[in-house]
Structure 1
Amino acid sequence: MKSKQTLFLLMAAAFAAGATAQTELASAQGERPAPGMEIGSVDAVLSGFAAQHANGRSMQVQSMRGNTVAAHIRDYAKKNGVVSISGTAVDTPDSVFVLKGNKKAVYGYLLKYDTRKAYEYTTDSAGKVWLTEVPITKIVPDFDPEFRDKRSAAMLAMAVSHPVYSPMALRQARHIGPYQNEDVTQLQSKPGSPYVFYLNITAVMNGSTPLNGVTKENMYRAWQSIADQYSMLNLNVTTSRAVYDAARTTNLLRTGIINFINQDGRSFAPLRSFGTTAAGTLYRNPSSGFDYGYGIGMTGAHEVGHQMGMNHDRGGNGGEYFEGIAAYQWGPIMGNYWMGGGWANQLFTWSRGEYTTASNFEDDLRIMTVDEAVPYMADDIPTTRALTLGTGGAIDPTRNFGQIERNTDTDTFTFTTTGTTTLNLRIDPLEYLRMLDVDASILNAAGAVVSRSNLGVNRSAQFTNLSLPAGSYRLVVRGGAEGTPANGFSNYSSLGHYAMKGTLAGAGGGYPVLGNGVALTGQGAAAGSWQYYTIDVPAGKTQVAFALNGGNGDADMFVKLGGTPTTASYNCKSDGPSSVENCSINAPAAGRYYVGVYAYSAYNTLSVKATYAP
């Protein structure tokens, strides 16, 4: 039997060979670009299509080399001066027409899939629109109607494992963690976002049950993998038709769609079709040799990338599809992602062509956030956040997590110790089809780096038995890099969610220490989270009083002697409807008191104070 590595190489070779076959086919048919034809100013072209939309008899028609170039308009939208038009060719339904732009420039194309003809609309520096015949693969890079899976039955029987979830992946976000019996026809990665990408799975479903023996878990992972690769954007990747229709009605320019097809073939999608109703095509390929969720998910992320405007990451032996760098188990999602199927710690990211053999230097993140105007997610930790510790200094991943939204982002967690403390901590990326390589540092009060971790070809950071003397510390998490950008990868798109698990054991328990009568200000937390503080009360005091003072949210306070409080276990509490809370203990026993602040709703700029008397 052939080894798995042999299978990976054969699959990767077949993947790359498709582009060569397409190039040879185009050459054999003589599909070389013809000289362009000027068809008018941007204003004239847009006015012409607006008139056609208003009155179908007013059709825009051109002729190139004896072929008609004209479209039936199916969808027309104009919002804030930006126009989106889509439809089909007048002489064949097996086609797609797209035109997007504003009063300064337009871009679009008319594709005839049956005859493999493609015509591109571009704008020059003088504001003139040109129509040019181009090879169809310029617009639909993966288009290959002759594609056949030539692998043997033995090869197809050799299953390839999907990635392993981090044990810390516990629904810190909608797309994080294993399947939990959700309705796979109603999945949403960011409910409420006005930017929506719809995965139309209707054709591969019977109601809420997948066809072809595909499990709901597999379908979930296909959605999850695509959501992973776009998690840094405020983009709701959904399988809900109702969500898509509502977003499209509000603003078509903020939506996209890809159709799952119930047959085998090579998936493809037209470039820059986000913001239109022109759909990508995602074939089922149930015997792809990869787990359905992983294989279809990777392919979906790649094809949605084309729709967002990105071309193939070329170079190396992969030619049209760069194969990644095996030594670092890294590859670009717009390259030959199949090569990473056998890597234990694969990392797939967006790219700007930093590797040595690159010939495509497109800035993928800029294309998505500037050209297509899909915004990044807001920074979830814009300043600092106190590290949340449980009993015995436990660090729980459901309370201590975050997201690196862009390559300039760093997340800072603070903690204080009152004596020598031992830190054991692991920080994992949480996405299934991950992009984040975790780099973490511990800094002391002077800003000096005490320790740093970025495990090689592992994607996690880890601190083992790190001894920390009394003091205040910062844990800084950022996107990591390995090797060099030329031979390795930079932190350009090392993005994604992470969580941490471990213990901070020893004197002080790692919680912020309150000074007698001194307010600790600037505290904040997300809804549903706990923050803990300590104060040592000497013997002989008549009272100890605890106070919260904040102008927003709803912070509740629970205090306990000798351990962290809960809503059911405390010595005093105050849980009113605001963030102003007070409670006290008369004739307090000597010892360490733990102040637990629970965020019934999110708060910030909170002060925490403890005062004992006399």
Structure 2
Amino acid sequence: MNKLYANGLTAALLLVGLSAAHAQGQRPADGPGYDLGTRQELVQQLETQVAAGLAQRTAPTVTLRVAASQAFSGRVNYREDLTKTGEYVVGDLAGVPGASFQLRIVGETVEGNIILRASRQAYRYSADARGHVLVRAVDINKVVCIDYNKPVGYREVAPAAGAANRAAVVSLQSYPGARGCILLDTDGYALPAGTGWNNGNAYNAPSASMTDANVQAMWELVSEDFRPFSLNVTTDENVFNAYPKNMRMRCVISPGSGSTIANGAGGVAFLTSFKTNDDTPCWVFMSDPKSGGEAASHEVGHTLGLSHDGRISPSEGYYTGQDNSGAWAPIMGAGYYKPVTHWSRGEYNSANNQEDDLAIMSGTTYNVGYRPDDHSNAISGATNLARNGNGLSANGIIERTADQDYFAFSTAGGTVSFNVNTVGRYGDLDIVARLFNSGGGLIGTYDTQGGGNLNVSFSASLGAGTYYLQIDGTSSGNPATDGYSDYGSLGTFSISGSAPAPSGGVATMYRDCNYTGTAVALPVGDYNLAALQARGILNDDVSSLTVNGGYQVVLYENDNFSGGALTVTASNSCLVNNPLGTGNWNDKTTSLRVQTATASFSRQLEAELANVNNGMTVEACSDAGGGQDMGYIDAGDYLVWNGINFPTTGTYLIEYRVASGASGGTISADLNAGSIQFGNTAIPATGGWQNWTTVSKTVTINAGTYNFGIYAQTGGYNLNWVRITKQGANRMASANAEILASSSPKQLELYPNPVADKLYIHTETVATDAQYRILNTYGKAVGSGALSTGPVDVAALPTGVYTLVVSVPGQPTVTRRFVK
């Protein structure tokens, strides 16, 4: 039974958490518990008192005793009769302005609070081992975000012109397929009755009336704050609704003036409410991107268990930042006034809270965790920088304090230059770059210190060879007095640079160690013994080699790519007792392959497979028509993609497309290095390296995160593409999959958004005659075509917000917005 009682009662701010927050330093300890009797006795008492009120046709009242000599009269605004032994009541306290209560008893669980805002007192309900209900006084800061005000001098942003009639908010996602979700809800929200807000009454939150540009700016700030975690920050209601209630948090952005939720406040939240499974939102009452974004991260931080960062002396609830540097503040303090804000562990002087923000949010309590590491933390696994002529590029994320991402590149010698930048605005990652030679020796450390300078630019004069670039988060100043440590220096980075490209090919074979003796440069290709000899490379005569960034060389001890094999992904000065392989590889090579490095493909596929979370088909390919393979696996080779998340138990279709050598062989796929096997498949000789065959396996997989691998049992294979499909779900469009369109606005989705070059569309209904147009913010068409031709190429469009208009003859037009 659900019942809402509303009789003109004064709306009071309910600032109650349903479970304990983490204690903060120097704050008072909890008081002794007062015994209210057994759960059954308290439920019977509440039900009797509610029934008496209903019989008199008045709003029911219940007695809320907190001590032998003290009790409050609670006026019930909302009630649920949960079971014969359960009860849920929410309301305000008669005669006590600004006070409210919430109490839920179901089974063996007892949770709830009483909040007296004016006197800054709070009480919490719990159950002991005997099944008795206890109520005790607690520090109000353990359960409520109290007195979190707007910035000094803040003025409400005027509504955007035409906001009432504008299109739906632009759909943005920071990490599609993440475990958890944060919704920035800016277009108005109808709060249902029965939550802890508004004393249990319903509430219609008005739209924040933000422009698309301001929505995107606020989303960028919050996305970067939560970038280290497996959390998808989105503006899309449909994306949010696809997540379980205990793995999502709605943050309502709405005008605060006159609000009965928290009139005049900057934001409010229940502590630990992310996991409560009842969709209770948190709130922000500012639409300015910087102020509102800082408040949104702060309030969502509360829902993930974080308490306030203040100071003991002077006594303050919210620390506004280091006074000397003028650049930094903790997110759980007040980050309005500083350009750089971080998650904190209270390293500044006189901090009243030393809790580990990162450990709390990533812990098992909320089941969010960190996102998978995207690049190796060591030179041995360094990612090759992508090369275009002399240009070099890459991007990544520093997602943990100890994370260091390594990249490799080769040069013909001369001046190399690099720019390493975090996001364009609202960055958290303070970057330090380190340059190493091929032997791992440090050449230089590059860091721009102080004043919120997060990016790094440098040049160096280098000789010919292979080098390594390390990207790390760093500190600034003294974290106790005028700066911050590298603890919260986390987030996105991009690398752009230049280095003279080695000439004559992408890999050079040398007759002697240390890159001496006869040298022959080779472009990408397969070289048997005859092909090597034709280029001046003798049998068993290679002792060292250089490899450009983005490429690899597979050495074979026998002709025609057979026998033992060694994959070299970076320059190697001597193959004597080579640590990358077993035994001595000096003067052992009889045939070889020069290839695009499969490591970059592995990382690309890893990122795409994360979308299994959304039940989409995910696929990686270059030319499914047979023009180019995506990698090669020889007998005994194992390609693995780490951290693929299957969110629900169910049936999945595993497919991969390969071409075999002359003799064919056996190939298999598995999870977690063979602990879960999908069975072997015999591959006949396909008659050539570009004659493809597709392996398909329908398997049942339990929900969880796995490492997915493809293993060459015998024989060797070119790999063309890999695809995983959640059966019964949507398929994600890809380079060789049909592009789908639909007349239903609820089904049409765009990915990725924001987009760099290729915009994919996925829906449920195939429409081969679907056409699209792209409109800029002035309504002018800047692109058009047929969806059936493949993904929409938007690489040439300037940055901005666009509308995609999809039309099918005889059906309603569908529009979606995206950001370039």
TM-score (norm 1): 0.62
Q: Report deviation, 1:440.
A: 1.6
Secondary structure in 2 matching 1:482: coil
Alignment-derived partner of residue 201 in structure 1: 186
Letter aligned with residue 33 of structure 2: G
Alignment-derived partner of residue 109 in structure 1: 113
Q: Report deviation, 1:521.
A: 2.5
Q: CA RMSD in A?
A: 5.2
1:365 aligns with 2:358: yes
Alignment-derived partner of residue 279 in structure 1: 281
Unaligned runs of 5+ residues in structure 1 are: 1-31, 78-83, 160-180, 287-291, 341-345, 525-542, 557-566, 583-601, 610-614
Decide whether the 8 Å contact of 1:351 with 1:492 is kept in 2: yes
Q: Distance in 2 between matches of 1:190 and 1:85?
A: 39
1:499 aligns with 2:501: no
Letter aligned with residue 275 of structure 1: K
1:130 aligns with 2:134: yes
1:67 aligns with 2:66: no
Q: Distance in 2 between matches of 1:414 and 1:546?
A: 17
Alignment-derived partner of residue 13 in structure 1: none
Decide whether the 8 Å contact of 1:312 with 1:320 is kept in 2: yes
Cα separation, partners in 2 of 1:94 and 1:486, compared to 1, 3 Å: closer
Cα separation, partners in 2 of 1:275 and 1:544, compared to 1, 3 Å: closer
Decide whether the 8 Å contact of 1:427 with 1:460 is kept in 2: no
Aligned pairs (5 A) from 1:315-354? 315=311, 319-328=316-325, 329-340=327-338, 346-354=339-347
Greater Rg by CA: 2
1:303 aligns with 2:299: yes
Decide whether the 8 Å contact of 1:355 with 1:486 is kept in 2: yes
Secondary structure in 1 matching 2:318: coil
Q: Report deviation, 1:514.
A: 6.2
Cα separation, partners in 2 of 1:149 and 1:484, compared to 1, 3 Å: closer
Decide whether the 8 Å contact of 2:417 with 2:460 is kept in 1: yes
Letter aligned with residue 431 of structure 2: V
Decide whether the 8 Å contact of 1:73 with 1:85 is kept in 2: no
Cα separation, partners in 2 of 1:476 and 1:573, compared to 1, 3 Å: same
Decide whether the 8 Å contact of 1:142 with 1:269 is kept in 2: no
Letter aligned with residue 299 of structure 1: A
Decide whether the 8 Å contact of 2:428 with 2:488 is kept in 1: yes
Decide whether the 8 Å contact of 2:111 with 2:126 is kept in 1: yes
Out of 618, 624, 628, the position equivalent to 1:574 is 628
Out of 372, 380, 383, the position equivalent to 1:378 is 372
Decide whether the 8 Å contact of 2:362 with 2:368 is kept in 1: yes
Letter aligned with residue 266 of structure 1: A
Alignment-derived partner of residue 449 in structure 2: 456
Q: Report deviation, 1:573.
A: 6.0
Alignment-derived partner of residue 229 in structure 1: 225
Decide whether the 8 Å contact of 2:64 with 2:71 is kept in 1: no
Q: Distance in 1 between matches of 2:444 and 2:357?
A: 33
Q: Report deviation, 1:376.
A: 0.9
Q: Report deviation, 1:319.
A: 2.2
Q: Distance in 2 between matches of 1:393 and 1:95?
A: 66
Secondary structure in 1 matching 2:298: helix
Decide whether the 8 Å contact of 1:38 with 1:128 is kept in 2: yes
Out of 33, 36, 39, the position equivalent to 2:33 is 36
Decide whether the 8 Å contact of 1:407 with 1:479 is kept in 2: yes
Aligned pairs (5 A) from 1:159-558? 184=169, 186-203=171-188, 214-247=210-243, 250=244, 252-264=245-257, 265-267=264-266, 268-276=268-276, 277-284=279-286, 292-315=288-311, 319-328=316-325, 329-340=327-338, 346-370=339-363, 371-382=365-376, 384-396=381-393, 400-417=394-411, 419-430=412-423, 432-457=425-450, 458-487=452-481, 488-505=483-500, 507=502, 511=549, 521=567
Q: Distance in 1 between matches of 2:103 and 2:46?
A: 14
Cα separation, partners in 2 of 1:409 and 1:515, compared to 1, 3 Å: closer
Cα separation, partners in 2 of 1:368 and 1:446, compared to 1, 3 Å: same
Alignment-derived partner of residue 139 in structure 1: 143
Secondary structure in 2 matching 1:193: coil
Decide whether the 8 Å contact of 1:86 with 1:96 is kept in 2: no
Q: Distance in 1 between matches of 2:40 and 2:448?
A: 54
* Cα offsets for 1:149-186 (capped at 9, x unmatched): 984xxx96999xxxxxxxxxxxxxxxxxxxxx995264
Q: Report deviation, 1:503.
A: 0.6
Alignment-derived partner of residue 544 in structure 2: none
Q: Distance in 2 between matches of 1:544 and 1:403?
A: 34
Cα separation, partners in 2 of 1:336 and 1:441, compared to 1, 3 Å: same
Secondary structure in 1 matching 2:241: helix
Letter aligned with residue 254 of structure 2: I
Cα separation, partners in 2 of 1:478 and 1:575, compared to 1, 3 Å: same
Cα separation, partners in 2 of 1:138 and 1:122, compared to 1, 3 Å: same
Cα separation, partners in 2 of 1:98 and 1:280, compared to 1, 3 Å: farther
Q: Distance in 2 between matches of 1:47 and 1:212?
A: 46
Secondary structure in 2 matching 1:432: coil
Letter aligned with residue 322 of structure 2: I
Using the aligned pairs only, state the percent identity: 24
Cα separation, partners in 2 of 1:351 and 1:189, compared to 1, 3 Å: same
Q: Report deviation, 1:466.
A: 0.5
Q: Distance in 1 between matches of 2:282 and 2:399?
A: 26
Q: Report deviation, 1:406.
A: 1.0
Q: Report deviation, 1:297.
A: 0.7
Secondary structure in 2 matching 1:427: strand
Report how many residues are paired: 472
1:97 aligns with 2:96: no
* Cα offsets for 1:238-271 (capped at 9, x unmatched): 3333333342xx3x32222332333332132222
Secondary structure in 2 matching 1:197: strand
TM-score (norm 2): 0.48
Letter aligned with residue 316 of structure 2: G
Decide whether the 8 Å contact of 2:421 with 2:454 is kept in 1: yes
Secondary structure in 2 matching 1:489: coil
Alignment-derived partner of residue 578 in structure 2: none
Decide whether the 8 Å contact of 2:100 with 2:114 is kept in 1: yes
Cα separation, partners in 2 of 1:503 and 1:299, compared to 1, 3 Å: same
Q: Report deviation, 1:413.
A: 0.9
Q: Distance in 2 between matches of 1:112 and 1:471?
A: 69
Q: Report deviation, 1:100.
A: 11
Cα separation, partners in 2 of 1:480 and 1:45, compared to 1, 3 Å: farther
Alignment-derived partner of residue 688 in structure 2: none
Q: Distance in 2 between matches of 1:102 and 1:421?
A: 73
Cα separation, partners in 2 of 1:513 and 1:222, compared to 1, 3 Å: closer
Unaligned runs of 5+ residues in structure 2 are: 1-28, 53-60, 159-165, 191-205, 258-263, 507-547, 557-564, 571-590, 605-621, 631-655, 662-706, 718-820
Q: Report deviation, 1:496.
A: 0.6
Aligned pairs (5 A) from 1:582-593? none
Secondary structure in 1 matching 2:310: coil
Letter aligned with residue 574 of structure 1: Q
* Cα offsets for 1:191-240 (capped at 9, x unmatched): 333422233323289xxxx9676322112222332222111111122333
**Higher RCO (CA-CA < 8 Å; seq separation 6+):** 1
Cα separation, partners in 2 of 1:604 and 1:348, compared to 1, 3 Å: farther
Higher helix share: 1
Alignment-derived partner of residue 585 in structure 1: none
Q: Distance in 1 between matches of 2:87 and 2:241?
A: 17
Q: Distance in 2 between matches of 1:297 and 1:463?
A: 29
Letter aligned with residue 66 of structure 1: A
